Amino acid sequence: MEVYALVGPSGTGKSHRAAIVANKLGAQAIIDDGLLIQGNRIIAGSSAKRQPTRIGAIKAALFMDNRQAQEIKSTLSRVAPEKVLILGTSVGMVQRIAGRLELPQPSNITKIEEIASEKEIRKAKFHRTRFSRHVIPAPILEVKKSFPGILVDPLRVFLRKKGTPGKKDWLEQSVIRPTFTSNGKLTIADSAISAIVSHAARSVENVAGTGRINVKVEQEGVITIDISPTLSFGCALHEVAGRLQRQIKTAVENMTGLQVKEVNIKIKGLSFPKKTEATS
C-alpha cells in the first residue's frame, strides 16, 4: 500500500481539496478527521467533528481510541486500497496517524500552499473562523448517518475525468458546523417540531385536519413522528398518506437538521363535504 499526505494548518481548505488531490494521485481512499472515506462512502471511523471538545476532536483525528484505530485497520485490510491519502495539520501529525494505523510512512507529501492560492487560503480561514464551516469529503446522505441532528449543506467539487481531456465529473461534499464550535447547546422542543409537522400536513391537498401529533426521539438527532390526520372523503387514502409522509419528512429535516426515521400515519377519520341549503 502506498501512502500520500496532504498537509496544512487547520481551516486552510484541506478537506475541501482532498477529493481533487486523491483523484490526481489515484488514491482510492482518504483518511480525514477520524474517518475512512472511499469514493462517495464513509466506510469506517467516527468523525472528530462529532466530539464535544477540541481536545476530544484532536484525539479522534489521531485515532487515540484503540477500538476506532482497529476498525480502520480492519476495514483497510478488507478493502485493500493500493493508495491512501492522509490529511493532517502537520507532517508529524500525518506520520503519527500512519503509525497508529500501522501504515507505511507517506512517500509523497503535498502542502496546501502548493494547490491553493493565498487568496483561497485566506477565504477558507475566514469561513472557518467566522462561520465555523468545516468540510467532510463525503455526500450529505453519508454524512447524516454520522451526524444525525446536525445542519448540513451540500458542496460540489469538480474533478477532471481521467483519459477524457476537457471532461469533468463532480463529487458532492458536505459542510457542517461541528459540536465543539458551538457557543452553546441547541435544543428543539417537541412542540416546535409538532408545529412544523402541522403546518406541513395542512399544505397537503385533502388533509382536513392534523389530529394528534406525537414526536419520539429514537436517538440523538433521530426522531419518529406519529400523526392521526382526518382526510377528505372520496380521496385515495394511500396516495394522500404517501404525500403527507414525504411532505412532513422534508419539512422537518430541512428546517431542523434532524433525521426523520419514520412518519407513521393512522387515519383518524374522514371529512365529508358540507351540504348547502337549497335556495328558493
Q: What is the mean pLDDT of the chain?
A: 81
Averaged pLDDT, 143-151? 55
Q: Over the stretch 99-121, which tens digit does the pLDDT of each residue have? A: 999 999 999 999 999 988 899 88
Same domain, residue pair 232 and 172: no
Same domain, residue pair 12 and 107: yes
Q: Judge whether 250 and 256 are in contact, CB under 8 Å.
A: no
Q: Over the stretch 21-43, which tens digit does the pLDDT of each residue have? A: 888 899 999 998 888 988 778 88
Which of these three, 181, 212, 241, is where a domain ends? Answer: 181
Whether the predicted pLDDT of 66 surpasses 60:
yes
Averaged pLDDT, 83-103? 93
Q: Based on the structure, what is the number of domains in the chain?
A: 2
Same domain, residue pair 61 and 133: yes
Task: State residue 39's pLDDT score.
Answer: 79
Same domain, residue pair 51 and 136: yes
Q: Which residue range is the domain that position 73 belongs to?
A: 2-181
Q: Grid cell 478493502 — which residue? A: 79
Same domain, residue pair 85 and 210: no
Whether the predicted pLDDT of 145 surpasses 60:
no
* H or E element in which residue 197 lies: helix 190-202
Whether the predicted pLDDT of 170 surpasses 50:
no
At residue 94, the 3 state secondary structure works out as: helix
Residue type, position 199, single letter: H
Same domain, residue pair 26 and 70: yes
User: What cell was used for 216?
Assistant: 419520539
pLDDT band at 179 (very low <50, low <70, confident <90, very high): low
Same domain, residue pair 229 and 171: no
Averaged pLDDT, 214-218? 88
The set of residues, in sequence order, having a beta carbon less than 8 Å from that of 62 and lying 6+ positions away, is 93, 96, 97, 100
Same domain, residue pair 246 and 110: no
pLDDT band at 190 (very low <50, low <70, confident <90, very high): confident
Task: State residue 38's pLDDT score.
Answer: 87
Comparing CA positions, the residue from 149, 177, 168 lying closest to residue 260 is 149
